[in-house]
Amino acid sequence: MKKYQVVGIGNAMVDILAHVDDTFLTKHGVEKGIMQLIDTDRAAELYGVMGPAMEISGGSAANTISGLAALGVRTGYVSKVKKDQLGSIFSHDIKAQGADFDTPLADADHPAETGCCMVLVSPDGERSMNTYLGVSEFLSPDDIDEGIMADADWIYLEGYRFDGPDSHAAFAKAVTACKTAGGRVSLTLSDPFCVERHRDAFLEVIRADVDLLFCNEHELMSLYQTDDLSVAMTLGAADVDILACTVGVRGAYVLSGGEEIHAPAVEMHIEDATGAGDMFAAGFLYGLTTGRDYLTCGRMGCVAAGEIIGHIGARPEADLMDLFVSEGLV
């Protein structure tokens, strides 16, 4: 038995969440519903005009790993934070949830701080994310412990983490160490604009090494440059062993071995859509690592995603296992 069932690699950050109306977004040049990378000046500008906020640990893969840890899955997380207060908060929260997190801290004299993401939540629950990557951008191959990667059944790569100077090399090192030891590789495409920035790199790693691809319909269609979802799903299913594609309120499709399975979404009031995709991945991977069939995996993903959109913040508040029980999934 390997030490870890899932090890995630992503951008560590603390979310700074505030409610805004759509006028605010327009006035301050924030594009609604997507993730935008911002620099320190823009971060200061935006923080200066946004209202009172709350801080909750975030980061896409970190949310997924946190959800898995809460479900009792043996997890590890790899990312870069600094020895500052936000770094302490991030580290505390993911470790307190039960995941290992031992990546070396960025030096105290590093010019950047621990990353943060200003999440502006609109009245309709849509979130507009403004990400200051901070030190998380500088994850390098030196930060990848090959022993950890070799000791994981699955590694889970965050698409957002493809931004940054050494990130592709870091991922390559992780993938090689994992696969050489018989582990499997999953990847999330993160968002359509992330796909635009890294399409070639994504396709290369997907075709060479990815066993399980997480995405939503927009990301998948962007990846294969088509506006026909069924075409994109066919292409995706040809490139990976398992394709798990969420389709918003319609739930998710799982394609594998020539079969296509539909998992319905859970009906839910949308309070804050932050982290729905991350938690879908957590639910799905929980199913997979505990030997469920793909329909159950997909339904677990939808149940976990449904929990997260019902409240502010991207880490689960309810006991996901209780929800799985009440849905008859365990």
User: Site residues (CB under 8 A) for a second copy?
Assistant: 16, 47-48, 50-57, 66, 84-86, 89, 92-94, 96-97, 113, 313, 315
User: What are the residues whose beta carbons fall under 8 Å from the beta carbon of 142, sequence distance 6 or more?
Assistant: none
CB of 61 to a second copy, least distance (A): 16
CB of 14 to a second copy, least distance (A): 8
Q: How far apart are CA 108 and CA 85, in angstroms?
A: 12
Pairing relation of β-strands 252-256 and 259-263? antiparallel
CB of 118 to a second copy, least distance (A): 11
Tell me which DSSP letter residue 264 carries.
P
DSSP 115-146: -EEEEEE-TTS-EEEEEE-GGGGG--GGG--H
Helix-strand-coil percent breakdown of the chain, rounded to 5?
45, 20, 35
Query: Which residue lies nearer to a second copy by CB, 52 or 182?
Result: 52
Q: Which residues pair with 35 in a beta bridge?
A: 129
Query: Which residue lies nearer to a second copy by CB, 57 or 131?
Result: 57
